[in-house]
């Protein structure tokens, strides 16, 4: 199967993750997709193919020469809860002409809003129908890894060491490394194929935490509510607007951190605010968490102890400190990119990958582009040559490692 057909098959599986289920994988579609992948990996000739009860896949391409390190390549099976991943209907735009693309009725991928797409003029591009995300994050990464493994199996004359591949559930909700068995994976180092545009190479990322603030109110008939009612939604709004207005994703870039309100659900009696907190600098990251705790205390001083309660959970940390001692693995990736005509773009991740947590668990794991753009959005797209290039980079890394 070629890489495009493989990707189009993968996005037919609905694998949206959900942080509220308390299960791993968090949604049944991920296990359904995992079972399909296991059958595929066996059919192309990989060995030691395994799927555990939590939905983690591992497999081996045995070495055909001696003396090389064991490499790993990792991608995740889930798609983000930010947009629907059900009934994805991809379409290939042939030889993109640089004009706006109509995805569906009244839904247009405008080049003025997304000018990066003009970099792919003349290329075939996979887009959505405007109703769902596409799923290039990270099914493109899976397709690239599987296709590279199949190529090596079909070309035994290419000498390589042992290669391990791993596919994880629930990366998009910060749980992709929760049950990843680094010891069983058995690699000297690995790469996640989970970046964006062609050429991206990343070894530093946000420190990340998730936060829920529960606000408790008192509901009384509005006709007799004077000095009795406490509307939890109004209190929650008051708390939300106390955060710095400009420290949000839409107003920050580069190394700038943010508070991101990702959910607000409430009634007069009970409201929950859900945040993610991000910063590349560890000290500023810790300060952001303290600020949220301070605001909760402030609300409780005004409305009474217990009015607001906070839950904070660290998700991952900046992998840079774990990668810097082994920078040869970055040099290798850069060399591989240049070998296939790509200019490496080394940049910080304004997000995270499974590799961030795995790096802290003893598996150095920088991130390489998967090729898509506008992830987590109905405007997501995937230039086909970018996906091909990512596969070629994997092959070059495997051949060049010493």
Residues forming the active site = 78, 171
| Long-range Cβ contacts of 274-277 (<8 Å, 24+ apart) | 274/210, 274/211, 274/212, 275/210, 275/211, 275/212, 275/213, 276/208, 276/209, 276/210, 276/211, 276/315, 277/208, 277/209, 277/210, 277/211
- Residue 298 CA neighbour count, 13 Å, CB half: 13
* Cα gap 265→242, rounded to integer Å: 18
The encoded tokens of residue 226 equal 């004077």
Q: Is the dihedral of CA 224, 230, 236, 237 positive or negative?
A: positive
The Cβ of residue 136 has, within 10 Å, a number of other Cβ atoms equal to: 29
The structure tokens listed for 67 are 């003396």
Residue 251 is given by DSSP the state: G
Which has the closest alpha carbon to 170: 340, 367, 353? 353
């Amino acid at each position: 199967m070629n890489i495009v057909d493989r990707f189009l098959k993968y996005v037919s599986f609905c694998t949206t993750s959900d942080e509220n289920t308390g299960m791993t994988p968090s949604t049944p579609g991920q296990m359904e997709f995992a079972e399909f992948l296991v059958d595929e990996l066996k059919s192309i000739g990989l060995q030691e193919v395994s799927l555990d009860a939590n939905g983690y896949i591992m497999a081996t391409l045995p070495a055909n020469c001696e003396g090389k390190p064991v490499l790993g390549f990792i991608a995740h099976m889930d798609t983000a809860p930010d947009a629907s991943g059900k009934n994805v209907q991809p379409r290939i735009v042939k030889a993109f002409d640089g004009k706006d693309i109509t995805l569906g009725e009244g839904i247009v991928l405008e080049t003025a809003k997304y000018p990066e797409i003009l970099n792919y003029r003349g290329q075939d591009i996979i887009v959505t129908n405007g109703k769902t995300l596409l799923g290039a994050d990270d099914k493109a990464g899976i397709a690239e890894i599987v296709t590279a493994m199949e190529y090596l199996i079909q070309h035994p004359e290419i000498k390589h060491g042992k290669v391990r591949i791993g596919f994880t559930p629930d990366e998009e909700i910060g749980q992709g490394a929760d049950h990843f068995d680094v010891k069983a994976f058995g690699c000297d180092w690995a790469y996640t194929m989970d970046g964006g545009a062609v050429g991206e190479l990343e070894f530093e990322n946000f420190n990340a935490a998730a936060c829920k603030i529960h606000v408790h109110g008192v509901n009384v008939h509005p006709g007799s509510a004077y000095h009795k009612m406490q509307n939890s939604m109004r209190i929650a709004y008051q708390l939300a607007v106390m955060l710095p207005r400009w420290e949000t994703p839409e107003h920050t870039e580069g190394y700038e951190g943010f508070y991101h309100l990702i959910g607000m659900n409430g009634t007069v009696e009970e409201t929950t605010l859900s945040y993610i907190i991000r910063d590349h600098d560890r000290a500023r990251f810790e300060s952001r968490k303290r600020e949220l705790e301070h605001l909760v205390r402030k609300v409780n001083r005004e409305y009474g102890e217990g009015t607001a309660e906070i839950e904070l959970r660290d998700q991952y940390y900046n992998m840079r400190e774990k990668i810097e001692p082994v920078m040869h693995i970055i040099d290798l990736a850069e060399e591989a990119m240049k070998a296939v005509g790509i200019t490496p773009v080394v940049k910080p991740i304004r997000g995270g990958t499974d590799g961030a947590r795995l790096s802290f668990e003893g598996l150095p794991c920088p991130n390489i582009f998967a090729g898509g753009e506008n992830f987590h959005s109905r405007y997501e797209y995937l230039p086909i040559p970018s996906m091909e290039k990512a596969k070629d980079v994997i092959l070059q890394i495997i051949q060049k490692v010493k």
